[in-house]
Amino acid sequence: MRKYAIFFYCFILFAFVIKESYFSVPENFPKPVYDFSNNPLTENKILLGRTLFYEPMLSKSNTISCESCHSQFSAFTHIDHALSHGIHDSIGKRNSPALMNLAWQKSFMWDGAVNNLDMQALAPISHPAEMGSSINEVIAKLNASVKYRKLFYNAFGDSAVTGEKTLKSISQFMLTLVSANSKYDQIMRKEMSFTEQEERGYLLFKKNCSSCHTEPLFTNGNFENNGLQMDSLLMDIGRVKVTKQSDDSLKFKVPSLRNIEYSYPYMHDGRFKKLSDVLNHYTKGIHQSKTLAPQLKNNIVLTSNEKVDIINFLLTLSDKEFVFNPQFQYPK
């Protein structure tokens, strides 16, 4: 009897650990938006997706992978470049976004042009200034690769590569990119506490920033015009291009502020290099226009000390474990 009981206990623990390692909802997070029932995570599918994420064959010239513009050490974005660049050093129109907590994201791209995580990869694969290829060309290359046929077989029980399987696998890996162990999260879980300066910054943040950068994801997932004057060379009008509704002119998706320390430069066109530039924009750089977010109609007032306090708070959103997690690295 006793032997049975012990055996049973170990089994439960084992199952729990395995499930936890794929994906779990952090305790201070809401319910995910992504429908996992259409694409249940498995170890082999995540591994396939992770391999594809680092695969330069996704580009026409076999030189650019997802990782080229979404490197783990920078919270999966492309630092030091205001605008992302792709094959043949072509320069894109926008700053590549950091990738994290994608299971909670309602839409993708700065203008929300992509409606589901599964479909996201189609855009960079096809864009002439990014990977310059097509999903059909990618699938032909993968079908011709012994390595990939084996990975697809392990993941799906069938070595034939299809668009559906490829995109679902990439989603699986991206869904595992959960960042929820910053100092802020540990403080919310009552495992740590803020310094006095961080605490002051947190209160100022809640008063001035959190209506758009809402906790715990640090974005409300909506589109806003945050008072940036349109770059006269890029002429990027934002979400209106997708919806063709004039109310959406100059609106871009509110980005999460998690891991902001690692993911510079800032804004859809990467125009600000430092967090202090961003705060200065909100206190004295707002460009008035018809669709400006109502919260920004009057300049936000902050002293220079208060700005430093806010930056100190923002640094508590850095999740070191996330940017060094070996499970997200190139699969060896």
Partner 1 sequence: MHESVYPIENGNTIKFETLKFYISNIQLFQNDVDVYSEPNSFHLIDVSDTSSQNIFLNPPHRINFNKIKFNLGIDSITNVSGVMGGDLDPTKGMYWTWQSGYVNFKMEGTSTACMPPKNDFEFHLGGYQYPFNSLQKIELKTSSKTNLKIILELNKFFTAIDLTTQKYIMSPCVDAVIFSKQLANCFSVK
Q: Closest distance between partner 1 and the C-beta of residue 43, in Å? A: 20
At 181, phi and psi to the nearest 5?
-130, 40
From 41, 79, 114, 187, residue interacting with partner 1 (rule: CB under 8 A) = 114
Please give the size of the binding site for partner 1, defined by CB under 8 A.
29
Residue type, 192: M
Q: CB under 8 A: which stretch of 121-129, 199-207, 246-254, 255-263 binds partner 1?
A: 121-129
* Cα dist from 88 to 69, 97, 155, whole Å: 14, 21, 33
For residue 137, what are its two tokens?
Answer: 């060309």
Tell me: does residue 38 bind partner 1 (CB under 8 A): yes
Q: Show the DSSP H helices in the chain as ranges.
A: 2-22, 43-53, 66-69, 117-120, 122-126, 135-143, 146-156, 163-175, 183-188, 196-208, 240-243, 275-284, 304-314, 320-324
Tell me: does residue 43 bind partner 1 (CB under 8 A): no
Tell me: does residue 123 bind partner 1 (CB under 8 A): yes
Tell me: does residue 61 bind partner 1 (CB under 8 A): no
Tell me: does residue 35 bind partner 1 (CB under 8 A): yes
Q: Show the DSSP H helices in 102-162 as ranges.
A: 117-120, 122-126, 135-143, 146-156
Q: Closest distance between partner 1 and the C-beta of residue 166, in Å? A: 9
3-state secondary structure of 324: helix
Alpha carbon distance 173, 169 (integer Å) = 7
Q: CB under 8 A: which stretch of 132-140, 207-215, 220-228, 259-267 binds partner 1?
A: 132-140
> Contact letters (x/-) for partner 1, 62-101, by CB under 8 A?
----------------------------------------
From 244, 288, 298, 326, residue interacting with partner 1 (rule: CB under 8 A) = 244
Tell me: does residue 118 bind partner 1 (CB under 8 A): yes
Alpha carbon distance 269, 180 (integer Å) = 26
From 85, 127, 149, 273, residue interacting with partner 1 (rule: CB under 8 A) = 127
Tell me: does residue 246 bind partner 1 (CB under 8 A): no
Q: Closest distance between partner 1 and the C-beta of residue 175, in Å? A: 12
As a dihedral over the C-alpha atoms of residue 182, residue 186, residue 189, residue 191, rounded to 10 degrees, the angle is: 170
CB neighbour class for 221 (10 Å; exposed up to 12, middle 13-18, buried from 19): middle
Q: Closest distance between partner 1 and the C-beta of residue 217, in Å? A: 20
For residue 48, what are its two tokens?
Answer: 């396939």
Tell me: does residue 113 bind partner 1 (CB under 8 A): yes
Pairing outcome for strands 223-224 and 252-253: antiparallel
Q: Closest distance between partner 1 and the C-beta of residue 71, in Å? A: 23
Q: Closest distance between partner 1 and the C-beta of residue 257, in Å? A: 26
Given the rule CB under 8 A, which residues bind partner 1?
35, 38-39, 113-119, 122-123, 125-127, 134-136, 139, 162-165, 167-168, 171, 242-244
